[in-house]
Amino acid sequence: MTDIWVFAYGSLMWDPGFDFVEARPGLLRGYHRAFCIRSFNYRGTPSHPGLVLGLDRGGSCRGMVFRVAAAKAQAVMDYLYAREMTERVYHDRRVRVLTAGGPVTAHAFVVDRAHPQYAGRLEEETAARQIAFSAGKRGPNRAYLENTVRHLEALGIADGPLHRLLERVEELARG
């Protein structure tokens, strides 16, 4: 086995939870970060689902790629499957990520559009209302959005749609 790369677009960027030997900012073309997955447990309930991030087709996404040593590759993939694949809402895809050090082929967890939890491309107002008033076992859905935006800012990653979504969610929360 050789070293592997893992593309991160959400919480894996700031909380990977695994050992890596190198991290680089990267640009993935053909996919974008979106609140497109219904959450019935962590950020919502069956009667009022929240929304969580997925990597969906179209556009582009700035994130991080982590290089994992060959000796730890299987353990890291096992960990990632346990963390990311509990609901089977993602597919593990091999994608080409552009970095300052050249392109790399990485594992990326992209949304399964056929999965029942896939919410599709939601209008901003629809997503904002769902996020503003949902909460689950891991807390309010809006806290997840706020945390994501703040961490992206700290990493120097601009994501205009998420910033606009957060502004609308904050407006709704204020009443």
Q: Which domain holds residue 66?
A: 4-174
pLDDT at 24: 96
Which residues participate in catalysis according to the annotation? 84
Q: What does 60-116 look like in DSSP terms, one character per residue?
A: EEEEEEEEE-HHHHHHHHHHHHHHH-SS--EEEEEEEEE-TT--EEEEEEEE-TTST
The pTM (predicted TM-score) of the whole model is: 0.91
Q: What is the DSSP string of 97-111?
A: EE-TT--EEEEEEEE
Domain total of the chain: 1
17-67 pLDDT per residue, tens:
999 999 999 999 999 999 999 999 889 999 999 999 999 999 999 999 999
What pLDDT is attached to residue 84? Answer: 87
Domain CATH number, residue 98: 3.10.490.10
